[in-house]
């Protein structure tokens, strides 16, 4: 499919104009970054794996009635999506203490939380994506009160779906991050799920061994990132069986 001009280049994805107005081509790069790009590498196969994994999850969410930006996957690297106006917030849901939550409250990683906790962070790398309150969001006009309610509802629906999906393949959903966007259609405005959902934006632990199958493998130098992501894809049945843990040779 003919690609239009580049609209935006992020750390893990690049966006190009799509073939029709209101559409965008989302290209998944092999770049991995952590700690706001202080740590960087290029990891062969990561982009293709995240493209497949995000497609699988977005299609599943669409099937249970949650509107997403996903239209269809175009090839191993690219998917066609609806254009949205991204809300400048990262919405995090936590089921188990880990990462910045464990650090902030000095709670051991792996401690189950009494209920899912929804957090909002400002999407601003220069500031290190700081945690923000509803008060901040409303006062600074990053989202309306109605949108905050919608973001919570979307985040918790994604949590239920994703936790169940992962449970089915022996994986514990520790936490994840989503982004949403405003879609304008026939004079109406609504929030839909945008960006990606992949092991880049989730913490996924093997249920039996607690082995990490997500970007913490890269952040904490725990081994091969593509092995970890391939394992998730293999368990979900979206990788051909003969391309398992030794690293997929995914063709462009
Ligand atoms: P945290 O514990 O570092 O705050 O991360 C919480 C979740 O959000 C974890 O699943 C990783 C994900 N995340 C992103 O997707 N992007 C980010 O920039 C950060 C900081 C976290
Ligand atoms: N996404 C952020 C970065 O690329 C932080 C992270 O995922 O750890 O630096």
Whether residue 21 lies inside any domain: the answer is yes
Domain that holds residue 36: 6-84+225-235
- Residue 14 in tokens: 């690049």
Query: What is the total count of domains within the chain?
Result: 2
Q: Both 134 and 231 in a single domain?
A: no
Q: Both 78 and 90 in a single domain?
A: no
Q: Cα dist. 159→2, 51, 59, 79, 167 in Å? A: 35, 20, 15, 23, 12
Question: Is the shortest distance between the CB of 123 and ligand 2 below 6 Å?
Answer: no
Torsion of CA 86, 101, 160, 233, to 10 degrees: 80
- Separation of 213 CA from ligand 1 center, angstroms? 14
Q: Both 61 and 98 in a single domain?
A: no
* Greater model confidence, 188 or 93: 93
pTM of the complete model: 0.94
Whether residue 193 lies inside any domain: the answer is yes
pLDDT per residue as tens digits for the range 34-84: 998 999 999 999 999 999 999 999 999 999 999 999 999 999 999 999 999
Whether residue 67 lies inside any domain: the answer is yes
Mean pLDDT of 115-127: 97
Res 242 pLDDT > 60: no
Whether residue 241 lies inside any domain: the answer is no
Question: Is the shortest distance between the CB of 34 and ligand 2 below 6 Å?
Answer: yes
pLDDT per residue as tens digits for the range 6-42: 999 999 999 999 999 999 999 999 999 999 899 999 9
| Lowest model confidence (mean pLDDT) among 15-19, 175-179, 245-249 | 245-249
Whether residue 219 lies inside any domain: the answer is no
- Residue 22 in tokens: 């209101």
Q: Both 89 and 76 in a single domain?
A: no
Whether residue 217 lies inside any domain: the answer is no
Whether residue 250 lies inside any domain: the answer is no
Can you give the pLDDT at residue 210? 98
Ligand nearest to the CA of 195: 1
In the chain the first and final C-alpha atoms are separated, in Å, by 14
Res 240 pLDDT > 70: no
105: Cα separation from own chain's centroid? 24
Question: Is the shortest distance between the CB of 102 and ligand 1 below 6 Å?
Answer: no
Q: Both 65 and 95 in a single domain?
A: no
Whether residue 242 lies inside any domain: the answer is no
């Amino acid at each position: 499919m003919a690609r239009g001009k580049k609209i935006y280049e992020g750390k893990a994805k690049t966006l190009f104009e799509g073939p029709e107005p209101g559409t965008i081509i989302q290209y998944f790069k092999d770049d991995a970054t952590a700690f706001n790009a202080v740590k960087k590498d290029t990891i062969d196969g990561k982009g293709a794996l995240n493209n497949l994994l995000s497609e699988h999850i977005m299609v599943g969410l669409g099937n249970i009635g949650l509107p997403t930006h996903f239209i269809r996957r175009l090839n191993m690297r690219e998917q066609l999506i609806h254009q949205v106006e991204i809300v400048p917030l990262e919405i995090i849901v936590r089921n188990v203490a880990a990462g910045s939550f464990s650090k902030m409250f000095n709670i051991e990683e792996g401690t189950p939380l009494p209920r899912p906790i929804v957090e909002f962070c400002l999407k601003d790398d220069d500031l290190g994506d700081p945690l923000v309150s509803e008060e901040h969001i409303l006062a600074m006009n990053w989202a309306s009160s109605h949108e905050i309610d919608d973001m919570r509802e979307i985040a918790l629906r994604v949590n239920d779906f994703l936790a169940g999906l992962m449970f089915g393949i022996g994986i514990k959903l520790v936490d994840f991050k989503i982004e949403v966007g405003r879609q304008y259609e026939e004079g109406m405005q609504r929030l839909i799920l945008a960006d990606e959902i992949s092991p880049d934006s989730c913490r996924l632990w093997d249920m039996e061994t607690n082995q990490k199958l997500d970007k913490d493998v890269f952040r904490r130098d725990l081994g091969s990132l593509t092995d970890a992501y391939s394992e998730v894809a293999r368990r979900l049945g979206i990788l051909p069986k003969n391309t398992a843990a030794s690293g997929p040779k995914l063709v462009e």
